[in-house]
Amino acid sequence: MKQSPSMSGQRSLARFIVGGAASLAAAGLVLAASLGVAAPTGVTTSTSSVATPGVQGVSTIGITVSDLDRSVAFYTGVLGFDKVSEVETSGDATEHLSGVFGARCRTARLRLGDETIELTQFLAPEGRPIPSDSRSNDRWFQHIAIVVSDMDKAYAHLRKSNIRHASSGPQTLPDWNPNAGGISAFYFKDPDGHVLEVIHFPQGKGDPKWLPSTDKLFLGIDHTAIVVADTDRALAFYVGVLGMRVAGASENYGTEQEHLNNVFGARLRITALRAGQGPGVELLEYLAPTDGRPAPADLRANDLTHWHTTLVTPSLDDLTVRLRDSHVSWVSAGLVSGIEGSAEFRAACQIRDPDGHAVVIGQAGVDRQAANP
């Protein structure tokens, strides 16, 4: 299981409330070290070639849940998140941004370290549960990686909290991997069955921010990871259209990888992306096995399979032109303004990447009428 270094982590963006949102990981085994790896062929590692402004950073990651109170209790009580706010939204802006007619949502924003997530329950209409046979190589798969100060203590804490395993147990990268030897990770599930990861960086590995002198067990979110069918196609979107940069790349395999992902014979092409701020976005392409299923064409924001990554741009109008030219799939009714509960994030849109992963893009401090793409 081989890995390459990636760019060190950066600080999270300002807080945004939108009802409904990697440094480097090896399908969960993250290496967030200094950048020292060539980008994939044909991909620039700089946003300077982007004609108009792309995204500035990742502000938050959103997860659809079935019972907000239960989920908040789990993330705060078990994983150490702090609840920052809660808002209930409905009406045209909520419907148009989420793409769900008649939507009424409760959304809680939670913070861990510098990073935030948003948990959204659709009071109406209720969506579908996560498929019981969902696997880590299915292309609707997305997770967040939570950094811990001690893997043994974290695993014992999670076992005491009666979590459900997704991995067979914590996996440690072997010493023959000079860049990642000693990094350990474990996949588990939240109350709805969403896969989460905890990861530990030993001394000398990862961003120095993950090695603070603190007695906290759960430190923050290093990245969100998404499964893609074709890395080059995904890079054309995230780098070419959105203006993110490649922070590192690797190919991962071996028994540790198989048991981490719980996918026999797993061999992955890993590409780590960064914007200017916030956690990273990681692309996971399964070179083997290749039987991962595509995201359902009718996947909606109220389905529990739905995650979204919220990005911020300095110029939503300019970026919208690029999105139109790239023929992305729009979830929202164009640009949506008047978003309830979001004094800072007053205009946004929601689209899907080439593999169907939802992306919310917004601009702070704007006030405009909704416009169709």
d(CA 15, CA 345) in angstroms, rounded, equals: 9
Tell me the average pLDDT of the chain: 83
- Record the tokens describing residue 144, joined without a space: 């967040």
pLDDT 10s digits, 20-41: 333 333 333 333 322 223 344 3
Per-residue buried b or exposed e for 110-125, using 16+ beta carbons within 10 Å of the residue's own CB: bbbbbbbbbbbbbeee
The pLDDT value given to residue 175: 74
Q: How confident is the model at residue 317 (pLDDT cuts 50, 70, 90)?
A: confident
Q: What is the 3-state secondary structure (H, E, C) of 173-193?
A: CCCCCCCCCCCEEEEEECCCC
Region for residue 150 given its phi and psi (left: phi exceeds 0; alpha: psi -120 to 50; beta: otherwise):
beta
- What pLDDT, on the 0 to 100 scale, is given for residue 189? 98
Q: How much is the pLDDT for 206?
A: 73
Q: What class is the 25-364 domain?
A: alpha beta
Residue bearing tokens 């067990």: 217
CA 10 to chain centre: 15
* pLDDT, tens digit (0-9, with 9 covering 90-100), for 225-257: 999 999 999 999 999 999 999 988 888 888 999
What is the rounded distance in angstroms from the CA atom of residue 185 to the CA atom of residue 95? 38
pLDDT in tens, 319-349: 999 999 998 999 998 899 877 654 457 789 9
Q: How far apart are CA 315 and CA 62, in angstroms?
A: 22
DSSP letters for 70-112: HHHHHHHHTT--EEEEEEEEESHHHHHHHT-TT-EEEEEEEEE
